[in-house]
Amino acid sequence: MSPYPKNRVDPKSSENLREIILSKIVSDEMHGKREFSIMTRLSKKFIDILDAMVRLNIFKSRSEAVAALVMKTILAEIDLYDELENQAKKLDKLEEKVKELALKTLHE
């Protein structure tokens, strides 16, 4: 009888699959502390896929799988996302200037 619960696969039997998938998903930029949490809703199909990756010991949890996949997606187009971040910062500065002008006008 297997020492692993019914919903988990023996780690040795899935080690090659784990390494193949992780090599395609996880990069050096992804290692580090995950400091923030977010909540999201996904369809059953995506949950089933995440659960399969956990059962196969590719990831330790759904959270780890989602984090790796999101980071991989962003890193694949990092220049685009860096530009989006820069534009959002410019917008924040512009909004702050507009607020300051509005307050200045009201106080005159």
Q: Which residues contact 51 (CB under 8 A, 6 or more apart)?
A: 62
Residue 2 has pLDDT above 60, yes or no: no
Residue-wise pLDDT for 18-41, tens only, equals 777 777 776 666 556 778 888 999
pLDDT over 70 (residue 108)? yes
pLDDT digits (tens, 9 = 90+) for 35-74: 888 899 999 999 999 999 999 888 999 998 998 899 888 8
Give me the mean pLDDT over the 3-15 stretch.
Answer: 56
User: Is the pTM higher than 0.75?
Assistant: no
Residue 11: what pLDDT? 54
Taken in order 25, 30, 32, 34, the sign of the CA dihedral is: negative
Q: Quick one: how far is CA 12 from the chain centroid?
A: 27
- What mean pLDDT comes out for the span 88-94? 96
